[in-house]
Structure 1
Amino acid sequence: MIDGAESPDRPPRVLLLYYSYTGQARKVLDAAGEVFRQRGCEVYSAPIEFTDPRYAERFSRFPMHNVWPEFLGMLPAQTLRATGEIRTPDEVRRHDYDLICIGSPTWWRNVSMPLRSFLTSPEARPLFDGTTFAVFVVCRRYWRENFNAVRKLAAKAGGRYVGEIHFTYPGDQLRSMLSLTSYLGSGEYRDRYLGMRMPPTNVSSDQLEESRRFAAKLADRLQRGRRGAQL
């Protein structure tokens, strides 16, 4: 679909496509989804499930049981830009969306294996073919490689890029990593970890508001496209 041009009489359809272990990518898309619904859009969610037997067990529970081995254990696969087995919901097999919002957590400076696996799969092309997409990146610090990879893969599948927004966590390189791994290993926010004071981690309420404002701009674009289709 291109900017709602198929049928001006029906509401725009928006797909929230994401993988989310800690729930941060889901949070920013849920906030965006609130705005799309308020603007009269039909909103569908498509969470990707990571089923690869090499890694699925560690991502089947939260918090992680052995955070450092499990956290570091994804580095080789991420460095190689590997793919793995996933399960997708029926929503990705509909091909009548006007906009796809991709929620992409950053794993070791790049797009996560589950999302990469979908974007390079045969299912991605009929979903994205001719459809506009926007990218929502959540990360500790380095977001650009993740964004660039998602944009390139979605465009290769036939999608038309319309915008991005990214959300980073506070703190320097060391403290932001320790704060995140503390959360991954405990499921709780800690003021101190390994004797050091920790910055907060994960997306904030202010960042959720940023996601809503970005969604409002995307909704305006959809409406302009529909008005143009009616002329």
Structure 2
Amino acid sequence: MTEPSTADSSKQPPRVLLLYYSYTGQSQKVLEAAGEVFRQRGCEVTAAPIEFTDPRYAERFSRFPMRSVWPDFLGMLPAQTLQRTGDIRTPDAVRVGDYDLICIGSPTWWRTVSMPLRSFLKSHEARNLLDGKRFAVFVVCRKYWRENLAGVRKLAEKKGGRYVDGIHFTYPGGQLPSMLSLTSYLGSGEYKDRYLGVRLPPTNISDEQVEESRRFAARIADKVFGKRTA
């Protein structure tokens, strides 16, 4: 059971939107785990994946693994450094729903918000979705998460969103080994022990991080929809 809330008093279940861009499925994985918790709390949960359609960049993300990992991987660096936007497509759920909470899944591209998600957060569509709404941020990254989380928060708040909380999930290993582990996975679609002669740490979201996402979602549900009572 939950304490009474605005949604309870209107006898409508709270509505939660899972908004994300996810090339390898890592942002999707942590949001789906969070979504399970919200459903257990009686929420109506809707997924809204962003599709990257920009003709300058989308082809490299149209398949997995990448066809030419190093040119494709490094080729996004100039656009990311300049924080450019591009063409995207969003599902109808972004336009037709009225949500009590929006969970934003944000992969880190070159230390900042990915172009597909930034493109949405700078759009008029984002204003219609976020204005006056509470949102939480789920950052997935190799190392540098602060710029990404701060960037998503700033962009969403500029569209009228009300920040609730944020969490980040990082991959293990030092700077070079973690980068090689990720690029090896992007280029092969497989987990490898070594790449270019370097022993690799694991990459991507672990089972423990999935559980961490569930615990975070429970805390967010307590904040937004009221704590459970025994």
* Separation of aligned partners in 2, 1:208 and 1:224: 23
* Separation of aligned partners in 2, 1:43 and 1:34: 9
Query: Do 2:16 and 2:44's aligned partners in 1 also have CA atoms closer than 8 Å?
Result: yes
Match of 2:73, SS state, is helix
How large is the RMSD of aligned CA atoms in angstroms? 1.3
Query: Do 1:46 and 1:88's aligned partners in 2 also have CA atoms closer than 8 Å?
Result: yes
Give 1:146 deviation, angstroms: 0.4
Counterpart of 2:92?
Answer: 90
5+ residue gaps, structure 1: 226-231
1:128-151 Cα offsets, whole Å, 9 max, x none, are: 011000000000000000000000
Counterpart of 2:125?
Answer: 123
Query: Do 2:15 and 2:98's aligned partners in 1 also have CA atoms closer than 8 Å?
Result: yes
Give 1:96 deviation, angstroms: 1.3
Given the two structures, how large is their TM-score scaled by the length of structure 1? 0.94
1:191-221 Cα offsets, whole Å, 9 max, x none, are: 1111111000001000000000000111112
- Percent pairwise identity: 77
* Separation of aligned partners in 1, 2:96 and 2:222: 23
* Separation of aligned partners in 1, 2:18 and 2:96: 13
1:87-121 Cα offsets, whole Å, 9 max, x none, are: 00001003410000000000000000000000000
Given the two structures, how large is their TM-score scaled by the length of structure 2? 0.94
Distance 1:224 1:8, change over 3 A: farther
* Separation of aligned partners in 1, 2:97 and 2:125: 10
* Separation of aligned partners in 2, 1:212 and 1:194: 36
* Separation of aligned partners in 2, 1:73 and 1:165: 28
Match of 2:66, SS state, is coil
Match of 1:151, SS state, is helix
* Separation of aligned partners in 2, 1:122 and 1:195: 47
Counterpart of 1:207?
Answer: 209
Counterpart of 1:5?
Answer: 6
1:25-45 Cα offsets, whole Å, 9 max, x none, are: 000000000100111100000
Matches within 5 A, 1:147-162: 147-162=149-164
Query: Do 1:4 and 1:98's aligned partners in 2 also have CA atoms closer than 8 Å?
Result: no
* Separation of aligned partners in 1, 2:202 and 2:5: 40
* Separation of aligned partners in 2, 1:104 and 1:126: 20
Counterpart of 1:185?
Answer: 187
Counterpart of 2:45?
Answer: 43
Query: Do 1:109 and 1:145's aligned partners in 2 also have CA atoms closer than 8 Å?
Result: yes
Aligned length in residues: 223
Query: Do 1:63 and 1:184's aligned partners in 2 also have CA atoms closer than 8 Å?
Result: yes
Counterpart of 1:229?
Answer: none
5+ residue gaps, structure 2: none
